[in-house]
Amino acid sequence: MSTNADRRVALLTLGCARNEVDSEELAARLADGGWSVTTDGNDAAVVLVNTCGFVAKAKQDSIDTLLAAADTGAKVVATGCLAERYGQELASELPEAHAVLGFDHYPDMAARLDAILAGETISSHVPRDRRTLLPITPVERRTAQVVTPGHLPAHLRGVLRQRLDSGPVAPLKLASGCDRRCSFCAIPAFRGAFVSRTPDEVLAEAEWLAANGVRELVLVSENSTSYGKDLGDPRLLEKLLPQLAAVRDIVRVRVSYLQPAETRPGLVEAIATTPGVAPYFDLSFQHSSEPVLRRMRRFGSTGRFLDLLDSVRRLDPAAGARSNVIVGFPGETREDIDELARFLTEARLDAVGVFDYSDEDGTEAATLPDKVPADTVKKRYDWMSALAEELCAQRAGDRVGSIVEVLVDYIDEEVVEGRGAHQAPEVDGSTTLVAGAGPDPATLRPGDFVRAKVTESVGVDLVATPIEMISPAGP
C-alpha cells in the first residue's frame, strides 16, 4: 500500500479551455480517490498529462511534455485527446509513458493510478469512433450511458470540479462533441456526437465556481450554437444566458465557439443585449471563399459573414468579434485567398487566428486532390498572418477614447492587467490599467470589475485609465 506522500499526482493540461474543464473534473475524481493533486511536475509520484490532439503542432507539444515528464523519474500517464485518438499506437511509439488512457478511464482514474504506482501494467486505450456510441437522433442521447468528460454523473455532482487555477475567470462546459462533418476536422471522431449538459447542471456548476472566486464564466463546447437541440429546445442557450448572468458574484458571462451557419438572430440579440453577458462573438468562419467552404463542408460566403457581423453591430457597435481561418486548404486558388483577404479587411475583427492547413489522419480533406504546395501554403500563411495582425491592430486603435468594462485578471508587480468585454482570456488581447483621474490601479485586486477609458493601443492590446469601480472582488 502506498503512503499519502507517494500519492501525489501532477496534472498537466495542454490545448483548449475544454481540456481545462476536463482536467478539473479529473482533479476532483483523483482527490476523491485519495490523491494529492498539483500542477507542478516536480516531486510527483505520477505525472498525468491531459494531451491535445487537434493539429500537428499541438500533438508535438503533447509528446514533448510527456517526454519531459519522463525525465523527472515519475510514472507518466497520457490521457486526453491525443491519447483518446491514438491509444495503443501512441503507447507503442512512446515507451516512456507507463499508460495511455482514454475517456472511458476517467471515472476510475484514481484506481488506475493506484495500479500504475503499484507497478501493475494497464492495457492502453483502444481507439474507436465515439460518434457510434450515441444514437443518431440527438433527442435520444439523453439516457445513453457514455463517458463524456466534463459531464459529471449525478452521484458526483456534489464534487463538481477541483480548481487548478485561482484566477477570477473559469471555463464552464455547455456541451461536448460535434455533429458537424467539416472535412478538415477529426474532433467528432474522438470527442463523439454532440451532447448538451442540462441547464440545472450548468447553473449548479456556475454557482459553485462563483462561490470559489470566479467572476467571469467562459462557456465552452465544440459548438455552442447547437446547445439544447438534444434537450428538445434549440433556443435553450438564449434562455440560459440571463440565468447565468444573474448568478451571485458573476459579473460577466462569455460565449465561445459559435458556428456562423447556426447563429440565429435570437442568439445574436441575446449575446449582444443581455446585461451581464459580454457582447462578444467567437465565430468560426475558417474561410470566406464559397468554393473553399464547400470543400470544407461548411456554409457561408464573404457576403453572408459580413451580413452576420453587421447584424451584431446594429445591436452593439462596440461588440467584439474574433475568428480563426485556415489557409492552404486543398484546391485553394489565388482568387480564393484574395477573397479571404477581402473579407478580413471588411470584417473589422478584434482577433484572428491563422492556421496553415495540414492533413489530419482520418479526415476527408486528407484524401482530397489538388493539394497546395507546402511553400505556397507557407507564403499564404505568412501573408495572411501579417494582414490579420495589421487589421486587428487597426481595430484596437478604433477603440481609443472609448469606455470599456475591465475585469482585472492579475497584478504583476506594478502592472495591472485585465480584459475588456471584447477580449477573451488567452486567445485575444488584454487591457493594461494605468493611473488617471479615477481609482488608483495600485489599489486594485484580481477579480475587481472596473469601468475605464482607453487612452492607447499597442497592437491588439489596450491601455486604459480606471474611471470607477463597478464591482469589487470578494474577500
Mean of all residue pLDDT scores within the chain? 93
DSSP characters over 293-328: HHHTT----HHHHHHHHHHHHHH-TT-EEEEEEEES
Instruction: Name which of 444, 450, 447, 443 is nearest 467 in CA terms.
Output: 450
DSSP characters over 118-138: TTPPPPPP----GGGGS-SSG
Name 406's bridge partners: 450
392 marked as part of a ligand binding site = no
CA distances to 171, 303, 403 from 22, rounded to whole Å, are 10, 38, 36
Residues 456 and 439: their CA atoms lie apart, in Å, by 18
Helix 265-273 and helix 302-315: axis angle, to 10°? Answer: 40
Average pLDDT (48-77) is 88
For 268-311, the pLDDT digits (tens) are 999 999 999 999 999 999 999 999 999 999 999 999 999 999 99
Share of the chain above pLDDT 90, in %: 80
Strands 449-458 and 403-412: antiparallel
CA distances to 61, 190, 191, 357, 440 from 366, rounded to whole Å, are 22, 17, 19, 10, 55
Which pLDDT does position 3 carry in this prediction? 45
pLDDT above 90: residue 224: yes
Query: Taking a C-beta distance cutoff of 8 angstroms, is the pair 464, 433 a contact?
Result: yes
Name 79's bridge partners: 50
Average pLDDT (402-419) is 94
For 66-108, the pLDDT digits (tens) are 999 888 889 999 999 999 999 999 989 899 999 999 999 999 9
pLDDT band at 155 (very low <50, low <70, confident <90, very high): low
178 marked as part of a ligand binding site = yes
Which pLDDT does position 5 carry in this prediction? 54
Which pLDDT does position 2 carry in this prediction? 44
Residue with cell 456548476: 205
Residues 30 and 48: their CA atoms lie apart, in Å, by 11
Q: Which three cell numbers stand for residue 80?
A: 486526453
For 412-470, the pLDDT digits (tens) are 888 999 999 999 998 899 999 999 878 899 999 999 999 999 999 999 999 999 999 99
CA angle 338, 344, 348 (to 5 degrees): 155
16 marked as part of a ligand binding site = yes
pLDDT above 70: residue 159: no
pLDDT above 50: residue 47: yes
pLDDT band at 154 (very low <50, low <70, confident <90, very high): low
| Residue 30, SS3 per DSSP | helix
Which pLDDT does position 1 carry in this prediction? 40
Residues 233 and 321: their CA atoms lie apart, in Å, by 26
* Least confident piece of the model among 52-66, 255-269, 419-433: 52-66
Could you give the count of Cα atoms lying within 13 Å of 302 in the half-sphere of its Cβ? 16
Strands 415-419 and 403-412: antiparallel
H/E segment holding residue 189: helix 187-191
Average pLDDT (194-207) is 93
182 marked as part of a ligand binding site = yes
Residues 93-118, buried b or exposed e (16+ Cβ, 10 A)? ebeebbbbbbbebbeebbebbbebbe
